[in-house]
Chain A
Amino acid sequence: MINVLIVMAHYLGDNFGLAIIALTIIVNLLMLQLTLKQIRSTKAMQELQPRLSELQQKYSKDRQKLAQEQMRLYKESGVKPAGCAITMIIQFPVWIALYRAVMLSLAAAPEGLLNLSKYLYSWPVLYAALPLSQDFLGMNLADPNLILAILVGATMWLQQKMSMTTPTDPKQRQQSQMMLWMMPLLFAFLALSFPSGLSLYWAATSIVRIILQYQVTGWGGIAREAGKETEKDKKYVKFVGQAERKSTDEVGADIVVTSDEQQRRDQGLGYPEKPSKMRYLPGKDRTRHRRKK
């Protein structure tokens, strides 16, 4: 990756900044499937939030039941809660390799330039291209830069905000808020300690992910917080509203039925006094059963 980065810089007019951006885009394109999978997984988690909240309210006193229902919901919807985190962990080695390539190619210190020599292939273009020019848009990529550090924090915050779910549980909401601010602040602080070439790589990565995130989910968490309704949100609100307005006789919501209750119904044993979860198929006459009581 170091050699590729250097060759790209050479053919982009000896511009190392452009080479960093270009290589970041290329690497992200190569990992596009993984990234999209992660974004879609996160989006699916967001869509499950209201139903998860319902389950939590319904089974707040029965943790085991809650866990079972949650697991069944995940299974039915095909969502893996840890999927997005695992996808991120898979991508880590690539990000770190790209990060090291940027740091080593920058060769800001004399030791860095000397050290870089042992990573070079026998391509003539490499030897003539080094050392790379560190100027980019008036910045020295070997020095920390405050503007880039702020950009790193801002883009990371934006990307996280777009992908963030909004848990109803206060503890989880607090944790989400902490994560939303902690990582961008941490990376912005780190960016002030490292050469700005690295900050450029971080910011470029965040911007690419923001674009991909927007393609899949729109503005996501930002739109929700601003009160704007996306098409999907509108549909869901209507669905909930209609369900709430309907009487219990007309409700056609998906409710999971346990096997023993299905058996009771099949056997014509009627329903227990306190109705538990039952699946009502469209067209079935529930009223007739009630009247019998």
Chain B
Amino acid sequence: MPFKQGKWRTGRLLLLAVMLLVVGLVTSGCVEGLQSIGWSGGAVSDGSLFVGSKEGRLVAVNLADESRQWAEPLKETGQTGGFLGSCAPAYGGGCGTGASGVAIYGTPVVYGDRVYIGGYNGKVYSYNVSSLQMDDVYPPEGYLEPIVGGGVAAQDTVYFGCSDGKVYALDAADLIWKWEFETGDKIWSTPAISDGALYIGSFDKKLYALNTADGSKVWEFETEGAIISTPLVHNGTVYIGSFDRHFYAVDTATGKQIWQFPAEEDEYRPDNWFWAEPVVYDNTIYAGCLDNKVYALRADTGAKVAEFDLGSPVSSSPVVVDGSIIFASRDGAVYAIDTGLGALKLLAEIGGEIYGPLSASEGVVYIHTQDLTMHRVSVTTGAVFRPISLESKD
């Protein structure tokens, strides 16, 4: 076809090429996994379930009548930019994801008459359990780096890890700083406390044991990969999975390795990271892995008892309900592992992506999916109850 006006044709082609490029870049920039949305689990206390919603709000759900109460939205850092409303994940923005608030990743901590959450905006908040009125905030001025892990409370102190690599200990009454401990890299995991010691993993590939009174280091244990999983403390042993595709058992007193799975001589390797918190039942550790499997290991020796294939990565932490270990895979399937028979049973398929930890109360498992919905499944019957929307009406 002859070019009647070659220059005009070239110009139009170039313009079309530019537009295609921009559309391609913008749409591919706003792809799955590039925006911070949040995956808070639920904390059950006195008939209420507390969860951080994708709108950046603490929500209290009355489990009896399903009524909901919302706290005020968490405030963003104010450092948004660009006409896309900031695709920069650090600021909790998103490209048309539907999430408009500060992302909340950690499960709320209920302690006394307060509930605590950490936001991706780098602040820790405490609320009144009954009214959800915000009482205190840390830091009072400015912001820390994003907080991704959950917190833990004990002995009138709240403990959080932060992306600045530090563990913070705050007074539970007024969130006044008590001490902090700095690791070598970001902390995205939730700490665990037992017998006056706090255990936490860091991206610097180490598991730390700290004295809860003053934050002094008791010991550190080094792996070959980053640690994001929450440690499990049981019978004087800390169990932790790492990005190096190994699962470790470490002595709480000395910090020495007791065993690792797989063992050095084993040729078999899990195919991906250990991300979810493990659970223990009847001297058996159940550890979910991003290679779609749950590994059942003997707590004393690390020998593999069984492995269960869930068909999709396991990133949400499980719960133990009536002798069954309840796991959820990312594609929305909920499974129950019968510890007596050692069998895997599909409990329900709820149709939403599951990233965050599970919670349970009175035989019902609560699952927070990525679509502002809290799902409920009966462990006994597998019945799926009507989901509860966490979307506020404001």
Contacts and interface: CB of A to CB of B under 8 A. Distances in A.
Contacts of A183: 18
Contact of A127 (B13, B39, B243): B243
B312 to A, nearest CB: 10
A45 B7 CA distance: 10
B232 to A, nearest CB: 20
Contacts of A140: 90
A67 B17 contact: no
A40 to B, nearest CB: 15
Contacts of A85: 10, 13-14, 17
B31 A111 contact: no
Given A103-B29, A108-B89, A144-B82, A67 B2 contact: yes
B315 A86 contact: no
- The dominant DSSP class at the A interface is helix
Interface in B266-286: 269, 271-273, 275
Interface residues of A, number: 59
A92 B28 CA distance: 13
A99 B28 contact: yes
A110 B18 contact: no
B31 A100 contact: yes
A117 B20 contact: no
Interface in A168-199: 169, 172, 175-176, 179, 182-183, 186, 189-190, 192-195, 198
B7 A172 contact: yes
A117 B272 contact: yes
B142 interface: no
Interface centre among B90, B105, B272, by most A CB within 10 Å? B90
A269 interface: no
Given A96-B25, A109-B36, A110-B36, A143 B90 contact: yes
Contacts of A117: 272-273, 275, 290, 313
A36 to B, nearest CB: 18
B32 A115 contact: yes
B88 A144 contact: yes
Contacts of B87: 193-195
Interface in A113-144: 114-118, 120, 122, 124, 127-128, 130-131, 140, 142-144
Nearest to A193: B82
Interface string B1-26: 01111111111011101101110111
- The dominant DSSP class at the B interface is loop
B33 A115 contact: yes
Nearest to B94: A109
A82 B89 contact: no
Interface of A: 45, 52, 63, 67, 70-71, 74, 81-82, 84-86, 88-89, 92, 95-96, 99-100, 103-104, 107-112, 114-118, 120, 122, 124, 127-128, 130-131, 140, 142-144, 167, 169, 172, 175-176, 179, 182-183, 186, 189-190, 192-195, 198
27 contacts: A67-B2, A81-B7, A81-B9, A82-B10, A86-B13, A88-B14, A89-B20, A103-B28, A103-B31, A104-B34, A107-B33, A109-B36, A109-B103, A110-B148, A111-B34, A131-B203, A131-B226, A140-B90, A142-B88, A142-B89, A172-B7, A179-B11, A179-B15, A193-B84, A193-B85, A195-B87, A198-B29
Interface of B: 2-11, 13-15, 17-18, 20-22, 24-26, 28-29, 31-37, 39, 81-90, 103, 105, 148, 186, 188, 203, 224-226, 243-245, 269, 271-273, 275, 290, 313, 315, 355
Given A96-B24, A143-B88, 18 more contacts: A67-B3, A71-B2, A81-B9, A89-B20, A99-B25, A100-B28, A104-B33, A108-B90, A109-B103, A112-B33, A116-B33, A128-B225, A142-B88, A172-B7, A179-B15, A190-B82, A193-B84, A195-B87
